[in-house]
């Protein structure tokens, strides 16, 4: 039972342009949403999070938007850089405070 879905398995974008990664969820009890970034042959690393009471969180080139009514969030990367090429996982954190439910990931390729 996938509570977090990333329906786009891959995304290709030109360097300098915006990357938009989408994520949908079904569990309305999630308190936080997190994005993790993963390079090949490495483990995921934490990127950015957003509380369910916010609709936007920004950290440098990365911005998360949350639309609770639509149960949808997105990660914007502006401007995209070649080093951003990686797999991005969206995750929801429930009220039990420890169980992250991950999506299947979106592979981003930034073309020079």
Partner 1 sequence: DAGVIQSPRHEVTEMGQEVTLRCKLISGHNSLFWYRQTMMRGLELLIYFNNNVPIDDSGMPEDRFSAKMPNASFSTLKIQPSEPRDSAVYFCASSLGTGVQSPLHFGNGTRLTVT
Binding site for partner 1 (CB under 8 A): 2, 6, 31-32, 34, 41-46, 49, 51, 89, 91, 93, 97-105
Whose Cβ is closer to partner 1: residue 19's or residue 101's?
101
Write down the least CB distance from residue 80 to partner 1, Å.
23
For residue 100, CA distances in Å to 2, 4, 11, 83, 103 come to 12, 10, 24, 26, 10
Strands (E) across 1-112 are located at 4-5, 10-14, 19-25, 32-38, 45-51, 56-59, 62-67, 72-77, 86-93, 100-102, 106-111
Whose Cβ is closer to partner 1: residue 9's or residue 16's?
9
Whose Cβ is closer to partner 1: residue 38's or residue 79's?
38
Write down the least CB distance from residue 35 to partner 1, Å.
11
């Amino acid at each position: 039972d996938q509570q977090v879905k990333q329906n786009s398995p891959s995304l290709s974008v030109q360097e300098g342009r915006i990357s938009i990664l989408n994520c949908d969820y079904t569990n309305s009890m999630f308190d936080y949403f997190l994005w993790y970034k993963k390079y090949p042959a490495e483990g995921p690393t934490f990127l950015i999070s957003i509380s369910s009471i916010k609709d936007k969180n920004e950290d440098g080139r990365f911005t998360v938007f949350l639309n609770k009514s639509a149960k949808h969030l997105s990660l914007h990367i502006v401007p995209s850089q070649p080093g951003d090429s990686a797999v991005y996982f969206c995750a929801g954190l429930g009220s039990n405070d420890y169980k992250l439910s991950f999506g299947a990931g979106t592979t981003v390729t930034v073309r020079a």
